[in-house]
Amino acid sequence: MCRLLGYLGNNTQLHKLLYQPQHSLIVQSYQPKEMTAGLLNADGFGLGWYHPHKEDSPYIYKNTLPIWTDINLPHLSRYVDSRCFLGYVRSATPPLAVDLSNCQPFTHRQILFIHNGFINNFRSSLYRPLRDSLSDEIYQLIHGTTDSEHIFALIMEQWRQSPHLNLTEVLSQSLQYLTQLARTQQVYFSANILVSDGQQIVASRYANRSPIPSLYWLRDELNYPDGVIIASEPMFEGKWFSCPENTIITVGETLEVKLHSIC
């Protein structure tokens, strides 16, 4: 299982989010507390953020090394300021390769995507059905072999087919479609997802059976005023709220946190 982190709010230095919290994403890579599978998140990491004054595609930094071994990241993270940030540390699902093509975040146009979870027996269960559901345009977005990237492609396909939907509706519709596919193959999956267009973050805590990986959110903490953090595990002492199971969290430009049940 991976560990996820999302931030939306006032401009903040990435170093402040990555290194200063007592139980930061860095610490969660080697000492996670609430993983339902695996022991470490040492199979690479990825960061994505949006420039605060440009309406262009997000910026990405990825590495296949454990995040704690990257000597460039402390310097890079002090240089970058952003009002919207996604990050993750990876625990690869065997036998998926540890290479950059399988490293998140995945991105298309304005969208950033990260996923914590897995599709059980992916190659022999939902690999082909997911690919068969994609248009050629979206099919060409897949460069790696992970279940995560195929879930991302499914979301982009659902949005291509229904461009009138908002990001929350697209994620909900995608998870319902994935549930139907999984039911036909009698396969288990979990899908804690964070997706953003730079103006909002939409997150899910979802699986089609227990256990469902943990997900928390916090708003307007003293060290992060006018900001919302969504994370797999609480990063410091504070008023963290556990996201209900089978729920989508939406955080918009006003930073109002809205919860939506996935039917």
> CB of 203 within 8 A of CB of 175?
no
124 phi/psi in degrees, rounded to 5? -100, 0
Q: Which residues pair with 23 in a beta bridge?
A: none
Active-site residue 263, yes or no?
no
Dihedral (Cα; 3, 117, 36, 189), 10-degree rounding: 170
Q: How big is the chain, counted in residues? A: 263
- For 124-131, which contacts have Cβ atoms below 8 Å and span 24 or more sequence positions? 125/182, 125/185, 125/187, 126/150, 126/178, 126/181, 126/182, 126/185, 126/187, 126/189, 129/181, 129/184, 129/185, 130/154, 130/181
DSSP string spanning 152-208? HHHHHHHHHH-TTS-HHHHHHHHHHHHHHHHHHHT--EEEEEEEE-SS-EEEEE-BS
Beta-carbon contacts of 207 under 8 Å, excluding residues fewer than 6 positions away, are 117, 188, 189, 190, 191, 213, 245, 246
DSSP code per residue over 14-45 = HHHHHTSSTT-HHHHHHS-SS-SS-S---S-E
Which of 2, 84, 103, 243 is labelled catalytic?
2
Q: Where in the sequence numbering do the catalytic residues fall?
A: 2
